[in-house]
Amino acid sequence: MAAQRAARTNNEADQPSSPVLHFGSDKPLRLDAGTVLSPFQVAYQTYGTLNDARSNAILVCHALTGDQHVANTNPVTGKPGWWEVLIGPGKIIDTSRFFVICANVVGGCLGSTGPASTNPATGRPYGLDLPIITIRDMVRAQLMLVDHFGIEKLFCVLGGSMGGMQVLQWAASYPERVFSALPIATGARHSSQNIAFHEVGRQAVMADPDWHGGKYLDFGRRPGKGLAVARMAAHITYLSEAALHRKFGRNLQDREALTFGFDADFQIESYLRHQGMTFVDRFDANSYLYLTRAMDYFDLAADHGGRLADAFAGTRTRFCLVSFTSDWLFPTGESRSIVHALNAAGASVSFVEIETDRGHDAFLLDEPELFAAINGFIASAARARGLAL
């Protein structure tokens, strides 16, 4: 079963199960690295119907290990979409009212051009020959997709974590194209602690003997052990100590006593090993390197002389920021600094800090307060936009 999922992941890199938009040499993607990516492709999913005025479009931006399958069955795992709890007919983001777009980011591994994609110059996977991708590059590619649909202004752009970074970049780079923005559990730049955790993960991948300098697909191999360790380390940062204690404590895993060895004596050990193994089956190791690097490089204030408020100067976009009390990956202080910058820029902004012990991953879970905040913001923005309720 694991081998079958891995094979499906490899197939999705070039021939995704979702719609794909191809951009030829006449439409290159200009990258922050100083080069261009051409040709390239963007894989995406849409839900609902675009209205005649093209004013009801919502762009959902996915997080580090997410993909375009936000509200449909994932073709690799067979599991429901990662935000089906929020998006669908009659749900908070009602696809009977809104046209929802979600694209696999450039640098990803489920159909948009990434390191597992075939390099047309060589006929082999890009590997590390793919230029470094930034959050701004991802947004540039998304803009080209939005233009393809003839959408002049998105009703809303929303996302959490790395998705929230994309939301902020959209609002800073293309304020005239974004009516409302909903960044969740994110920051305007990656902290040194977050960069440190990512570096541990990258080194785990690159230390795996099956990595082969990033050319593992040429050898028919995958650095599965290294990527699993990277996922295990990262997954700890998505949770909170309180949530871990509540769910696992120091409970033993399928045994009465300690084994005095290095098997998974504790439930938390077994859980992390499971997380690592299942992740390897659905995600490309080089994509993990590229996307973590994109997050590390993100620093919105640095692009504006160190003044975050200048990133939003003159904006007319409506903002709502959401943070979680137990999120230590992107603590509430990160959101507050963005709110202060938006206030300094004279922007329309609201802010909600949600009390929960579920940590960073709370934005992906069934959190009633989160849903209430999103629902209230979307409804208010829809009235202001003139969209019928």
Q: What is the pLDDT of residues 248-286, one digit of tens each?
A: 889 888 888 998 989 888 888 898 999 999 999 999 999
CA distances from 231 to 2, 46, 50, 51 (A): 16, 29, 37, 40
Q: Which of 198, 281, 327, 335 is catalytic?
A: 327
Rounded to whole angstroms, how far apart are CA atoms 102 and 239?
25
Q: Is 161 a catalytic residue?
A: yes
Please report which residue ranges of 52-209 form alpha helices under DSSP H: 135-148, 162-173, 192-207
Tell me which DSSP letter residue 69 carries.
-
Per-residue pLDDT of the chain (389 residues; tens, 9 = 90+): 555 555 566 689 999 999 999 999 999 999 999 999 999 999 999 999 999 999 999 999 999 999 999 999 999 999 999 999 999 999 999 999 999 999 999 999 999 999 999 999 999 999 999 999 999 999 999 999 999 999 999 999 999 999 999 999 999 999 999 999 999 999 999 999 999 999 999 999 999 999 999 999 999 999 999 999 999 999 999 999 998 888 888 988 888 899 898 988 888 889 899 999 999 999 999 999 999 999 999 999 998 999 999 999 999 999 999 999 999 999 999 999 999 999 999 999 999 999 999 999 999 999 999 999 999 999 999 999 999 66
Contact (CB, 8 A) for 351 and 320: yes
Q: Which of 161, 287, 323, 335 is catalytic?
A: 161
Contact (CB, 8 A) for 214 and 223: no
Q: Is 67 a catalytic residue?
A: no
Helix (H) or strand (E) holding 59: strand 57-61
> Rg of the chain over CA atoms, in angstroms?
21
Rounded to whole angstroms, how far apart are CA atoms 38 and 113?
10
**231 marked ligand binding residue:** yes
Question: What pLDDT does residue 264 have?
Answer: 86
> Strand (E) positions, 95-240?
99-103, 154-160, 178-184
Q: Which of 69, 190, 198, 360 is catalytic?
A: 360
- In sequence order, the 6+-apart residues with CB closer than 8 A to the CB of 192 are none
Question: What pLDDT does residue 342 have?
Answer: 98
Question: What pLDDT does residue 123 have?
Answer: 96
